[in-house]
Amino acid sequence: MYQQLIKVGENMEEILREYFPTDRYYGVALSVDNYWSYYQTLEVMEAREHPYWHYLLRLAFFNKTHQPPPSMWDIEFLYPFLKTIKFDFSSRPLGWREHCALNYYPENSSPVVIIVNPKLRTPRESDFINVGEYSYRVVYDNGQPSRAIYNPVVGFFDEFIFRKKMAPSVLVKSPKVTTGTLGGILCGHATGKKYLASCAHVLQTIGNDVFSQHKRFEKIGKVIHTEIPDLSALNDTCSIEHNPDLHSIDIALAEMTTSPNRIKNLNKLAKADKIAKISEMSPNMKVSFTGKSSGTVEARLGPLTLWDQIEFEEGKRCFGRIFQLKPLGRQYIYSPLARHGDSGSWITQTDGVSTAWCGVVIATGEGRAEACFSETIISKCNHALGENLTL
């Protein structure tokens, strides 16, 4: 579904920037109404004569408030089927009109939901905006802006406490000391070289030596490639004029100079065997990541971020066409989904048959984390290095 949300966002972007200018809003994201998603999936299952559609339809009718049962992504055996669905946002499934009436939505409501993060907690201007023939619901997220989550100092105390569940951690000493998570290892198909993968804001610049945080005097790699959006101008942090092609990544590759056996905790990472396609990823899909500070965290894929201003130590950077992670369950008190030092963690999803690499954790906010797509990472790194990177 993310691929379709990207297309919707591209068609609406100029209008959305007029409604939600970057001097008043940190960013804009898109999601889909849960009721629409559930019943639209049921209609596809019926059309394809899926054996479980009768059961899921009966389950839905037990609910009398027109709210769907738990996400279909909670049903593991449906994963392969759900990944094949191409949603049509102009379609209106069973009971959509009644659902809109019960929730006081306009009759022409689109299932696409716009989520905005205002810089000032001012009264809402409107709960709906009209774009073309449809009305789009607007949800105001008044949380703090997203922040990058590398660890600027080596936390020995944290390392001691969390050492049993930590992912492999990487350390760069120059020009400043930073630590983060080693997400995984990529292989060059043409050269046979192996590359350590983490965030660019962790490994910093090309030529830096990379060390294991557990063996701070043993070099494990040298940075050969980084890609991250430029620092934003003070007067225009995330405009379409300065960022016409917002398909952002925050990634660094370091050529490995040691044996994988000498990298502590490497065995604690999920071993992905394929790269997830953006078209196969959808909000509510259950995923996990393993960070050096948080250990293994289970989460759900959240909204698609069209653009967002992410805060770094040296300033703000504008990211776009990235995705959010949300907690598995409802949070009544926001707690961090990812912590300092988790930058670089690989997000994976398993369907019981294979494990797919979905993306890389780069930042955190209130009740969410931000990540960039693995498919975009591989495409851009292959182009820059002239390689054919594989897992």
pTM exceeds 0.75, yes or no: yes
pLDDT tens per residue across span 155-193: 444 444 444 456 777 777 666 777 888 888 899 888 889
pLDDT tens per residue across span 62-72: 555 555 556 77
Model confidence at 313, in pLDDT bands (50, 70, 90)?
A: confident
Report pLDDT for 241.
67
Q: Are 138 and 129 in contact (CB under 8 A)?
A: yes
Nearest by Cα to 93 from 126, 51, 125, 60: 60
Alpha helices in the chain (DSSP H): 2-19, 34-47, 53-61, 79-82, 96-102, 156-162, 200-203, 374-385
Model confidence at 296, in pLDDT bands (50, 70, 90)?
A: confident
Largest CA distance in the chain: 65
* pLDDT > 70 in the chain, percent: 84
Report pLDDT for 30.
94
pLDDT exceeds cutoff 70 at 368? yes
pLDDT exceeds cutoff 90 at 331? no
Report pLDDT for 295.
84
Q: Which two tokens stand for residue 350?
A: 């398993």
- Across the chain, mean pLDDT equals 82
Residue with tokens 């050269």: 191
Q: Which residues pair with 134 in a beta bridge?
A: 131
